[in-house]
Structure 1
Amino acid sequence: MMKLGKISPLAFSRMKQRGISIDALNDLLARGQVERQLDGAQVIYLDSPVPGPTWVHRPQPRLYAVVDAAGEVLTVEKRVRLRS
């Protein structure tokens, strides 16, 4: 579980542009899966809950953040990922 530290101006701007709240970012950092990068950065992501069977072939949003080795949030984004 990672705690929210410093947010870069770019990340804060992206959050505002993309409608991502501080609460959503806190939830992502608390519950997200972590992929560690060679430079010490981390990509933290959280797939949205899978909706009912009528959504099987629809794209699913995925929230992720990039955090540097010092713990600063560099960017936050929602990506749409096609389910196979």
Structure 2
Amino acid sequence: MAEARRWNFRALRVDDDVPIRELLCDFLARFNIQSRGVTVGVAMRQALTEETFDVVVLDLMLPVEDGLSLCRWLRSRSD
């Protein structure tokens, strides 16, 4: 059962540093974790309306809206 869950795990990575974001997404793919990367909070919110994710990995130092405020927004709307 744990093995089956591993294949269905979805991650959203929010990071404005494209090489780092792509590196993490590639790393997660090695473990069969599907991931999607976006650069800013607006794109994060859009992705969350389009898909369901098991985990969101936030960079703290994002332009416009920092990762901590995005985390607060996310926690106010989900578990």
| TM-score of the two chains, using structure 2 as the length reference | 0.29
Max Rg structure: 1
Which structure features the higher share of helix residues? 2
Which structure features the higher share of strand residues? 1
| TM-score of the two chains, using structure 1 as the length reference | 0.28
